Chain A
């Protein structure tokens, strides 16, 4: 592997930023990314795939600013509908709905948007800093996590969730399990067997995260709640939507540097581990924020930390994913798979030594992500006051609009009516999960992380020559196992403390 420059590509980047074409491309990429991010069913991945051929008309040294901007802007933009209407624009924003939407309903939409915007921008910059500083040791960091380590990491997340759930830890456990079971529908990658498909082709592909979870369980369930309990209208006084909220939100992030850095680092590290991705990062960041909070009982009830944590993490993921993608040529996320594919189209072969062979391109991508996040966040802040006013629209009008948006979003994924049906079923399930206080968080975690834990369990078993000893060999595995045991041992105490705080 060639020598890796750790200067941050300052010279290369300054040259690029003196070029007006670069700024135009960042602006255009941000606009496209914003549009794709804000619409449910579309995301940065689809934007990249659709616009890849367009990029071929651009020069390689500037084209990647366009793509990086698209990627960065889509991640932030997905949070806007998540906060305003509980519709995650992209799966990355699922966790933001927990507290973001509640803040909206409390008339604090502008504050939540500001927290999201500032945390997103700073999270992206922190992850770029992490990327630059970790370059010399990046390969070793990436190599730390194999299938056994990923299995234990996800197990840690699973065991902590019931202890942080709602009123009843048993309900939290049931909710996680239900999520895992529903995620197992479809064809097993490991055995090739079809599970719970009832002979249908559609279910062979499983219940998709976007139609079932993001649109169904999260968005449509909110519509059902609004329909069943009219007094819970989103409507708030327009007077409350003052610009003051914007500054309150922005300053809140700046006053919480530890929370911001923690979320960003979780995002960057998880992003660097191929296969985990932004949704996992935002879940882990949310859990970490909740576990370390003095007022964990306020999470899910409009706590600004519940927006800060996932937003800083999900935007930092791209910086982390850049490590594996740019240093090893192995995509750290699906979005990076497309970016690497675009590189191949330009005749740039990803792989070791990419950074030394094509510094213009690599630093273009890295800084493009950070700058575009800042631009998208600025748009979010500037447009926030207007966007926040949408929450003041009467539910009578907002329900049909949101419902149609959900249905169109679900249909767009595969041009399939079945996805709309699955979204409706997910909506009903989400409604009852909320009504019976089983908790959306444990359910979503089970649904998203279930396949990871299953796949990595089998993989670790196969890698270890079909023996369980492979699960206990690396230092990282041992640390994670000890963490799991500690959570189980200390969980009840943590829970008692939480309950005591609630009763107070």
Chain B
């Protein structure tokens, strides 16, 4: 009789009690711990990319250093979806406790500022930004195989022939900016839609497109040295240190609104994350980007690495959004 009672206790009451008490225990103890220290658990680092693409590579490359700086593990996860919708939804719907950090391109963000609606059911501007990783403004490269017969930026802008430009993302930054310039200066710029930056590179080397606009990173500088590409001009108010003979857009009298054409990598968080936690994340990312190892890597890649603070990049994205919205009629064919 006694044995039966004990058996019933062990098989029924004890497990039920434990199962009931455990969640309650976790629920009541967790907020107290979280309030004390942040981050209190691993950070889910949501990358808007697919395995192996540029964003995934950079995101995974900085994760170990970021983990060291934040003092907790950083777990990179790729979430992209069609038109990056899954990424934005994942950030929006994550718990606002600061343990979810996003990583997305500035132009993927800008796309929804310029063309709101569509598959995204909310305004991206409602997602707070922690920081933006920036580099040098883009450069306009001419293919050595181009048959346009031009050599300089001035000749490009007075060219009477149709000019093919590589259009390799939802809103290819430099290509869109060049389209706006073409409307102002009166030359005929036509997009050639390519699946990826790699395909755009191949098309430029083959001469299938005349112009490629991209960040003048180490790899592209190699194409310049091998004679495959000629740099025509860089967007910005000053020349790029690694291309001292290439003029900048300000020298060419191009609208100063286009000087911010560069690759921005944004770090958004879900709405409602407390400001002190955003500040802590921001400090962690800044420390990562100024870490000697990361700095050395950027130097080897011949790509200066800088950052914009939360306030700076939020303001910058808003003003870029407003400018491109106003001019969107000029680049409709790029708004896929």
Contact = CB atoms under 8 A, between A and B. Distances in A.
Interface of A: 1, 45-46, 48-49, 52-53, 56, 143, 146-147, 186-187, 189-192, 194, 201, 204-206, 274-275, 324, 328-331, 334-335, 337-338, 341-342, 344-345, 347-353, 455, 458-459, 462-463, 465-466
A337 B52 contact: yes
A141 B242 CA distance: 32
29 contacts: A48-B52, A49-B56, A146-B208, A194-B119, A201-B81, A201-B86, A201-B89, A205-B82, A274-B199, A274-B202, A275-B199, A328-B201, A329-B222, A330-B201, A330-B202, A334-B52, A338-B52, A341-B56, A344-B218, A344-B219, A351-B218, A351-B223, A352-B222, A352-B225, A352-B228, A458-B193, A459-B192, A459-B208, A463-B203
B302 interface: yes
A164 to B, nearest CB: 29
Contacts, number: 144
B300 interface: yes
B64 A56 contact: yes
A163 B228 CA distance: 43
Given A52-B61, A334-B52, A458-B193, A201 B199 contact: no
Contacts of B335: 192
B336 A347 contact: no
B193 A190 contact: yes
Interface size class of B (residues with CB under 8 A): 35 or more
Interface in B194-249: 194-195, 198-199, 201-203, 205-206, 208-209, 217-223, 225-226, 228
Going nearest first, the 8 A-B pairs with the smallest beta carbon separation are A347-B300, A192-B336, A351-B222, A204-B82, A341-B57, A349-B218, A338-B52, A352-B226
A358 B60 CA distance: 24
Contacts of A338: 51-52, 57
Contacts of B119: 194, 201, 204
Interface in B135-180: 162, 164
Interface string B277-302: 00000000000000000001101111
Nearest to A54: B64
A204 B57 contact: no
Contact of B301 (A143, A205, A344): A344
A53 B192 contact: no
B223 A342 contact: no
A464 to B, nearest CB: 9
A204 B83 CA distance: 8
B85 interface: yes
Contacts of B220: 351
B198 A462 contact: no
A349 B222 contact: yes
B40 interface: no
Contact of B190 (A48, A330, A462): A462
Contacts of A190: 193, 336
A465 B220 CA distance: 26
B219 A459 contact: no
Which interface residue of A1, A46, A206, A330 has the most chain B CB atoms within 10 A? A330
B84 to A, nearest CB: 11
Interface in B19-67: 51-54, 56-57, 60-61, 63-64
A1 B226 contact: yes
A325 B336 CA distance: 29
Which interface residue of A46, A53, A348 has the most chain B CB atoms within 10 A? A53
Contacts of A143: 205-206
A353 B226 contact: yes
Given A146-B206, A189-B193, A204-B119, A45 B222 contact: no
Contacts of B299: 347
B299 to A, nearest CB: 8
B51 A53 contact: no
A327 to B, nearest CB: 11
B226 to A, nearest CB: 4
B219 A351 contact: yes
A48 B50 CA distance: 12
Given A53-B60, A147-B203, 7 more contacts: A46-B51, A194-B119, A201-B85, A204-B82, A275-B199, A324-B202, A329-B201
Contact of A189 (B190, B195, B218, B301): B195
A349 B208 CA distance: 24
A274 B201 CA distance: 11
Which interface residue of B54, B60, B218 has the most chain A CB atoms within 10 A? B60
Contact of A330 (B193, B205, B296): B205
Given A45-B51, A352-B226, A463-B208, A344 B57 contact: yes
B193 A459 contact: yes
A45 B202 contact: no
Nearest to B297: A347
A465 B165 CA distance: 12
Contacts of B218: 344, 349, 351
Nearest to A350: B219
Contacts of A334: 51-52
Contact of A347 (B85, B193, B301): B301
A52 B83 CA distance: 26
Contacts of A56: 61, 64
Nearest to B336: A192
Given A204-B85, A465-B162, A459 B57 contact: no
A337 B53 contact: yes
Nearest to A1: B226
Contacts of A204: 81-83, 85, 119
A46 B217 CA distance: 26
A182 B193 CA distance: 22
A328 B220 CA distance: 11
Contacts of A146: 203, 206, 208
A53 B61 contact: yes
Contacts of B296: 347
Nearest to B296: A347
